[in-house]
Structure formats: structure tokens, C-alpha cells
Amino acid sequence: DAGVTQSPTHLIKTRGQHVTLRCSPISGHKSVSWYQQVLGQGPQFIFQYYEKEERGRGNFPDRFSARQFPNYSSELNVNALLLGDSALYLCASSRTSGGHTDTQYFGPGTRLTVL
Amino acid sequence: DAKTTQPTSMDCAEGRAANLPCNHSTISGNEYVYWYRQIHSQGPQYIIHGLKNNETNEMASLIITEDRKSSTLILPHATLRDTAVYYCIVRVGGGGADGLTFGKGTHLIIQP
């Protein structure tokens, strides 16, 4: 089975612009989570979506938003980009939302550079 | 979720067992121990998880102390491809949608 896929692989934007990142979960998985990883740090949780509804949110500003589609794929949107938004954005999928059976499997990430 | 403490870095010779420790002294009874690893610039890879019994899969073994305050991830025969940052995470089971809380992990370097 295919793993989690993300697009694009790399992206360069300028300050103030908007960006959309995309994620397709593993087949059969209904939950998608987004993480931001800045250089030298571990990933930080942004959102979790399950059955098209937001189920959890990390400590990120309202410039960050996401949605999940009927096929369980997801988009992460970031408005008014700042230099500090430069990071690796990771998507993880799981069968359900929460619980020890909710093992999350990560995609390869999208490397966003803001100039 | 409980906080974890891991050494910043470790070395291991190729072919030997790599033993990565993790302290989680404030772990609650319903929190599981998860291990992930991340090879440079790739997405984290799930390795193993457990509650209180030792667990083994094709990648590794997880040994959890009886009081559950610490655990050890064992890679039985380390190869150069095992060089990565290893993250120990504790997470509540049975509910919650707050994501995984990653620390800085242990940078494991396998020496030829």
C-alpha cells in the first residue's frame, strides 16, 4: 500500500504570500494531522482532522488553517507568511482520532522556504 | 502528556545492539510509550509502542521498567542506516486529539 503522500516537495514563497500544502493519507485512514518542524527542533503539532472535522489544535496563530475532504485528503493553508514559517511541514495519517491504536504514520514532508 | 528525557546523542558500533534510554517519570497509567525515528530531512518513522509489557517487532524491542518510569529501545544489530534522531513520546490512550509531543530526541550515530 502507498504511504502518506505530500505535495509539493519543496516550495519557495515571499513574506506576505499565502501557501497551500496537500496531503493524502494511507488508504483506510480517516484522520490527518499536521506538524511543523523548524530546523533543529522536533515536530510541533498544528492540527488534527478526523471525518472532516477539526479534533485538535496546537498553539499556532489563526494564519494557519486546514480542511479535510470527503476522500480524507487534507490541505494546510498559511496566510501572510512570515520568515519564521520556514520549516518542514509534515502530514501524518491514522485510522482513527485518539487512542493507543491511533498510530500516526508520517509523510515525507513539504519543505517551505519563506524569503 | 507526560514529559520525556533522552540523552542528546549516542554512538554505537555497526553490528552491535543499540540501547536508547528514555525517562518518563511522570507517566500516567493510561499513557503509552511510543518510539519514532527521523532520518535526516525525512518524515518521522514509527518504530514501536507499548503500555507496560515488553514489545518486539521486526524493527526493534521496547523494554519498559516495572514502575513504567523509564524505557529502553533496543535495535538488536545496528546498521549505518539506523543513524537517525530517535524520539521517545508518551501519549494518552483511549482518547485525545492533541497530537504527538516531540522533544529533541537522541541523535544515534552508528559507527562503521
Model confidence pLDDT, tens digit, residues A28-42: 999 999 999 999 899
User: What is the structure's pLDDT at B94?
Assistant: 47
B47, B22 Cβ separation under 8 angstroms: no
Residues in A touching B45 (Cβ below 8 Å): 106
Whether A96 shows a pLDDT value over 90: the answer reads no
Q: What is the overall mean pLDDT for chain A? A: 93
Nearest to B97 among A44, A97, A103 (CB): A97
Which residues of chain B are modeled with pLDDT < 70? 1-2, 93-97
Across the range A10-27, mean pLDDT stands at 97
Model confidence pLDDT, tens digit, residues A46-94: 999 998 999 889 999 999 999 999 999 999 999 999 999 999 999 999 9
